[in-house]
Amino acid sequence: MDGTSLAKRLVEETAAKAAEMARRTGTSPCLATVLVGEDPASVTYVRMKRARCAKAGIQSRHIALPATTTTAELIDTLAELSDDPDVHGILLQHPCGPHIDERAAFEAIAPEKDVDGVTMRSFAAMSFALPGFASCTPGGIMRLLEEYNVDLAGKHAVVVGRSAILGKPVGMLLLARDATLTYCHSRTTDLSEIVREADVLVAAVGQPRLIRGEDIKPGAVVIDAGYNPGNVGDVDFDTALTRARLITPVPGGVGPMTIAVLLAQTVAAAANQLVLQHP
């Protein structure tokens, strides 16, 4: 499943929408990125996201906070951005550090600007199939499944992983598409037996090559959302490829879709907010 090509097309469509918005309203969509500290990986991720914004015609405003920033100070920053009419989307790069209450920080982001889909309100929207922004990686996974015409109704979907921004929300999105859902995690017993029953498997646990090819049901659809050192996913790609009907590579599968969805949702957020100013 080629996430790179699909992401490229989605970004092109997003750029066209951003350009039309700027022409019609005189305003370009703006994404604010907030980074606490100078973790090298986080710095790289934010730089990459800002570069993609520029290519898509989306303005970016970067707020770099020192590693000594407190939860209260971070919340104040996010609240200010939430109240700023020139900012349409907010991305808090995480992890923020062990001293930060990330859940409290996420909840300081206004729901209409939560283009990364990290607030509890966004999770509720995904759970109840209500309007709102999906967590970006789960949203990208769903777009990949749609692109490849994967019929989810009645299928057994197994999600390995239960993080708040990936495992849990992707399960809710699958359930909303009428899949029968099983969550697995680090304390699941007989994981291989459960994985072998999956018509659709989402591996999102962060353990390299945890899922072996022999555990894949013949004809299954495999989404590898893991990314580990050495460009290795959570699925043993070479052996799984011999049994899966469709499978995402690492890299080039889920990863490109995450940023593409972030940009698309930023433009959608801007459109929602600007309609109040330009009816």
Report, as an integer, the average pLDDT of 70-90.
98
Q: Can you read off the two tokens belonging to residue 63?
A: 């707020």
Is residue 158's pLDDT more than 60?
A: yes
The per-residue DSSP string of 153-208 comes to TT-EEEEE---TTTHHHHHHHHHHTT-EEEEE-TT-SSHHHHHTT-SEEEE-S--T
pTM more than 0.85: yes
pLDDT class of 278 with cuts at 50, 70, 90: low
- Residue 116 among the catalytic residues: yes
Q: What is the pLDDT of residues 236-275, one digit of tens each?
A: 999 999 999 999 999 999 999 999 999 999 999 999 999 8
Domains 25-111 and 136-256 share a fold: yes
pLDDT class of 3 with cuts at 50, 70, 90: very high
From the list 93, 155, 234, 273, the catalytic residue is: 93
Is residue 47's pLDDT more than 70?
A: yes
From the list 17, 59, 113, 116, the catalytic residue is: 116
Q: What topology does CATH give the domain 136-256?
A: Rossmann fold (3.40.50)
User: What is the residue whose two structure tokens read 């800002």?
Assistant: 50
Q: What is the pLDDT of residues 176-191, one digit of tens each?
A: 999 999 999 989 999 9
Domain boundaries, the chain: 25-111, 136-256
Is residue 157's pLDDT more than 80?
A: yes
Distance between first and last Cα of the chain: 40
Q: Which CATH code of 3.40.50.1110, 3.40.30.10, 3.40.50.300, 3.40.50.10860 fits the domain covering 25-111?
A: 3.40.50.10860
- Residue 49 among the catalytic residues: yes
CA–CA dist 183, 173 (Å, integer): 13
For the four alpha carbons of 268, 271, 273 and 276, in that order, the dihedral sign comes to negative
User: What pLDDT is stored for residue 277 in this prediction?
Assistant: 57
User: What pLDDT is stored for residue 91 in this prediction?
Assistant: 97
From the list 17, 49, 113, 155, the catalytic residue is: 49
Looking at residue 111, the DSSP 8-state letter turns out to be G
Mean pLDDT over each residue of the chain, to the nearest integer: 96
* Nearest residue to 246 via CA among 198, 205, 210: 198
pLDDT class of 279 with cuts at 50, 70, 90: very low
User: What pLDDT is stored for residue 275 in this prediction?
Assistant: 81
Report, as an integer, the average pLDDT of 160-168.
96
Is-contact 237 250, C-beta < 8 A? yes
Q: Can you read off the two tokens belonging to residue 158?
A: 């197994």
- Residue 59 among the catalytic residues: no
CA atoms within 13 A on the CB side of 117: 34
CA–CA dist 212, 239 (Å, integer): 7
Q: What is the pLDDT of residues 191-234, one digit of tens each?
A: 999 999 999 999 999 999 999 999 999 999 999 999 899 999 99
Is-contact 265 139, C-beta < 8 A? yes
